[in-house]
Amino acid sequence: MFKFLFKRLLVLVPVFFGVTLVAFGFIRALPGDPVEVLAGERGVSPERHAELMAKLGLDQPLWQQYLSYVGDVLQGDLGTSLITNRPVAEEFFELFPATAELAICAILFAVILGIPAGIIAAVKRGTWIDQGIMSISLAGYSMPIFWWGLLLIILFSNTLNLTPVSGRLSFLFEVEPVTGFMLIDSLLSDEKGAFKSALHHLVLPAIVLGTIPLAVIARQTRSAMLEVLSEDYVRTAKAKGLSPLRVIAIHALRNAMITVIGLQVAVLLGGAILTETIFGWPGIGKWIIFSVFSRDYFAVQGGLLLIAGCVMVVNLTVDLLYGLINPRILH
């Protein structure tokens, strides 16, 4: 196991430096600079502009800026936001629970509907049921998040008046943050009706964010099930007289689902950027978008790096779990 873990950690080293390079280059590829954005319509004199650029270290050659950035990251310093003048890591972890809550609810929605749909499609392979489920999943995968989100807002918020348009909680309630997860904090508070309000605010964003993972999980579950069901150990289990449900749930599904669900974490974090912007959800996705428009170099660099770090940790965890379930890949 140690050798397996060491190899996986070794692979993450070039990935880490690749992410730092992408995060560093992305924001600098955009037109404009942070001093001009901060100055706004007032403008700034060339002398003052040069002074501020030197103060931020942005007057140096790009290779020197990158080396300085990587050196700070290796020391645990992600920089300070140019807009709020707060440490980037502090802002990120303050907003992260909102995004994590949304992502967890989205993946639960995707898993609860996607796994049964994929199993049914695999068991009913070649029938109209299989074709119908796969057609619906393809449509769900193809829908742009911003279009799907606006469509649901028009239907459920404006027309039916069933859900709020934006935010995490009604302004009528004041819930003290304890865990950062609004559903939990609203339950811990004395505010009656706060949990219901938090749940109503969460429904549409979770559905929108979970739609693409739902489609992917359904299709990949079907593919994984068809592959695993043809394995020798599954045929042996059937020969022993185990029920089809037991064969599917225990022998086939557990190997397939860890990988399938783990791969959706990057999709969720990427989709959260658009979803949070559409629904005014105060998480890291909305924060990243604001930082990009503000040309907040350090916030964008640090935010993208931390998001990539979360994805790498989840993928490493998935590899380890899969290794525990299937020890053959450890060798």
CATH number at residue 155: 1.10.3720.10
Would you place residue 152 in the very low, low, confident or very high pLDDT band (cuts 50, 70, 90)?
Answer: very high
- What pLDDT does residue 105 have? 92
Residue 109 in any domain: the answer is: yes
Residue 20 in any domain: the answer is: no
Residue 148 in any domain: the answer is: yes
Would you place residue 207 in the very low, low, confident or very high pLDDT band (cuts 50, 70, 90)?
Answer: very high
The per-residue pLDDT for range 107-151, each reduced to its tens digit, is 889 888 988 898 888 888 889 998 999 999 888 888 888 889 999
Residue 75 in any domain: the answer is: no
Selected residue with higher pLDDT from 152 and 232: 152
What does the pLDDT average to over 75-96?
Answer: 89
Selected residue with higher pLDDT from 271 and 100: 100
Amino acid letter, 270: G
For the chain, the residue count is 331
Secondary structure string (H, E, C) spanning the chain: CHHHHHHHHHHHHHHHHHHHHHHHHHHHCCCCCHHHHHHHHHCCCHHHHHHHHHHHCCCCCHHHHHHHHHHHHHCCCCCECCCCCCEHHHHHHHHHHHHHHHHHHHHHHHHHHHHHHHHHHHHCCCCHHHHHHHHHHHHHHHCCHHHHHHHHHHHHHHHCCCCCCCCCCCCCCCCCCCCCCHHHHHHHCCCCCHHHHHHHHHHHHHHHHHHHHHHHHHHHHHHHHHHHCCCHHHHHHHHCCCCHHHHHHHHHHHHHHHHHHHCHHHHHHHHHHHHHHHHCCCCHHHHHHHHHHCCCHHHHHHHHHHHHHHHHHHHHHHHHHHHHHCHHHHC
- What pLDDT does residue 141 have? 85
Least reliable range by pLDDT among 14-18, 217-221, 235-239: 235-239
Rounded CA gap, 272 and 284, in Å? Answer: 8
The per-residue pLDDT for range 21-33, each reduced to its tens digit, is 988 888 888 777 7
Q: What pTM value is reported for the model?
A: 0.84
Rounded CA gap, 154 and 190, in Å? Answer: 33
Residue 211 in any domain: the answer is: yes
The per-residue pLDDT for range 209-227, each reduced to its tens digit, is 999 888 888 887 788 777 7
Q: Please give the tally of structural domains in the chain.
A: 1
**Structural domain boundaries, residue 265:** 95-167+195-297
Is the pLDDT assigned to residue 190 strictly greater than 90? no
- What pLDDT does residue 261 have? 64
Residue 183 in any domain: the answer is: no
- What pLDDT does residue 198 have? 92
Residue 3 in any domain: the answer is: no
- What pLDDT does residue 326 have? 61
The per-residue pLDDT for range 246-292, each reduced to its tens digit, is 666 655 566 556 656 666 777 777 778 889 989 989 999 899 998 88
Residue 324 in any domain: the answer is: no
Rounded CA gap, 130 and 306, in Å? Answer: 39
Is the pLDDT assigned to residue 91 strictly greater than 90? yes
